[in-house]
Structure 1
């Protein structure tokens, strides 16, 4: 397993550490051309504070890197960006870029999305590895099986075992990492996606196009759950579908569904009966949906079956 030790602000850490039940964070970078290729999904990113606080204070499991506009990043993650407001986030970006952001600007930033984050109390902070130079700006990668990386992993694993029981259940990256002892390929963390990461991953899986209409106007596209989150209790890409916001509302209310057998759109007669309208929606009836290119991201048939037989009327 690879580990990346990323440098972050103490204020970013403190805001997250003060919150309860944090299931995801956005470890963002201010540059509009930022990239991140240091980790694969399920590998570990650790938070190291700026000097003089040369300690590793927590971490999270890498889910995805995506360049996003600040508006979308805020809508998806909110305080999960490590700031209390959109205004503060824009101020932080301007500070790091050393250039003002005009009111009408919607700058692009690099978003490192992390699942199952953890934030340690001071007595569990780990001193920076001896080879981690103080002038390092973004971070440094390690191999958990060798040298300084192995020592670092041993300290991290010891602390992960202290996590609450809810963080150590099956199908979590935390438990998979502990059981691997830092060796081999990690488990992908998709079963534990937070709401914001779910939205971004589903949007990307559908290539930013509505699955029903092909609409590309991003602000009106929603990542919808097929089987309600209240039933599944997890954010899974295979239970997601990207829809125009009005169709999402109709889908959730049972006016529209997807035929589980041939994956075509079904529109209920209730729209005409209740609203004496709906011509635009009836034009979609019988049309096939667009699905993600990656098979593992396509909706499971059982999820469409649940919606068709339990929600659609």
Structure 2
């Protein structure tokens, strides 16, 4: 979709984060903030998020397509993204959060952190770094938004296009559209596994769709149509389920009917001589996302009933 203008956000990061991730092949990254009090709302999915190093390195050094923003416990961020958080271990990440918060590190604390999740990140070699000191006030320490309908925003869009052309991305990827088209436009991002997990968790209000369970460590983002069978990392191909129900769903002992009601196979009783708890949930209507486009895809649900469910 071509637009008159789109937003661009430039976030400030440290050289260690950039160098750690630029040395790896990653399809998504978590550009996290140590504070977890305010939600990021500067971009919509598909707009550009760029990385700028801390002063005195006043350069934009890469970026990605904005996919999703959330505030989550650091444990969930690590489970979803691992070293795509820009750290080698959860303990290292906790240490960085504590340092930025200027407080003693506590390895038992499940810090809440802000997550700006980016798809198809790109990391430029030094000869492509974009100097930005003349467009950046020294007082800006977190980030700044731009609009491609204005001179500075259009300059950034054109500079990114030029550099993506110099360091080509895969021709079939959404990011290639940024390099291909001259006019600023929204590009539909292709979600990665970690983004899928966090986006599904948020979409269902952090509650199991069947039971209403709210204990995050036992909630999973389940694919309706298995990823290995052609399912995508799309929120509409996901359900937030308690871990035990997720396992039964993947193995076909439970499913969801066309009216979004929970269905339990007789095979559960036959195979395990048990399952009373799950049969008590039979017929339970799922709690669905508020956004209609995030609700379970009818074709994906049909696929699960026909291809996985043990009728």
- Decide: shared fold, TM above 0.5: yes
Distance, in Å, in 2 between the alignment partners of 1:115 and 1:181 is 21
Q: Which moved more, 1:272-281 or 1:63-72?
A: 63-72
Distance, in Å, in 2 between the alignment partners of 1:163 and 1:297 is 34
**Is contact 1:145-1:182 (8 Å) kept?**
no
Determine helix, strand or coil for the equivalent of 2:97: helix
Distance, in Å, in 2 between the alignment partners of 1:238 and 1:206 is 11
Determine helix, strand or coil for the equivalent of 1:224: strand
1:60-92: CA deviation from partner (whole Å, max 9, x where unpaired): 111222111111111111111111111111110
In the other structure, the counterpart of 1:13 is 18
Q: Where do residues 222-301 of structure 1 align in structure 2 (5 Å cutoff)? A: 222-232=220-230, 234-259=232-257, 261-301=258-298
Runs of at least 5 residues in structure 2 that lack an aligned partner in the other structure: 1-5
**Is contact 2:223-2:231 (8 Å) kept?**
no
Distance, in Å, in 2 between the alignment partners of 1:252 and 1:200 is 19
Distance, in Å, in 2 between the alignment partners of 1:218 and 1:231 is 27
TM-superposed CA distance for 1:299, in Å, is 0.9
Determine helix, strand or coil for the equivalent of 1:7: strand
**Is contact 1:267-1:282 (8 Å) kept?**
yes
In the other structure, the counterpart of 2:172 is 169
Q: 1:251 to 1:142 in 2, by over 3 A?
A: same
Runs of at least 5 residues in structure 1 that lack an aligned partner in the other structure: none
Q: Which moved more, 1:11-20 or 1:116-125?
A: 116-125
**Is contact 1:34-1:109 (8 Å) kept?**
no
Q: 1:48 to 1:206 in 2, by over 3 A?
A: same
TM-superposed CA distance for 1:179, in Å, is 5.2
Distance, in Å, in 1 between the alignment partners of 2:7 and 2:201 is 27
Equivalent of 1:53 in 57, 60, 65? 57
Determine helix, strand or coil for the equivalent of 2:36: coil
1:92 and 2:96 correspond = yes
Q: TM-score, normalised on structure 2?
A: 0.92
TM-superposed CA distance for 1:52, in Å, is 2.8
Distance, in Å, in 2 between the alignment partners of 1:129 and 1:177 is 24
**Is contact 2:94-2:107 (8 Å) kept?**
no
Distance, in Å, in 2 between the alignment partners of 1:263 and 1:36 is 32
Q: Where do residues 33-48 of structure 1 align in structure 2 (5 Å cutoff)? A: 33-48=37-52
Give the CA RMSD over aligned residues: 1.8
Equivalent of 1:137 in 141, 144, 148? 141
1:76-134: CA deviation from partner (whole Å, max 9, x where unpaired): 11111111111111110111111113233211111111111111112221112512123
Q: 1:193 to 1:72 in 2, by over 3 A?
A: same
Q: Which moved more, 1:34-43 or 1:216-225?
A: 34-43
Q: Where do residues 11-160 of structure 1 align in structure 2 (5 Å cutoff)? A: 11-20=16-25, 22-128=26-132, 130-160=134-164
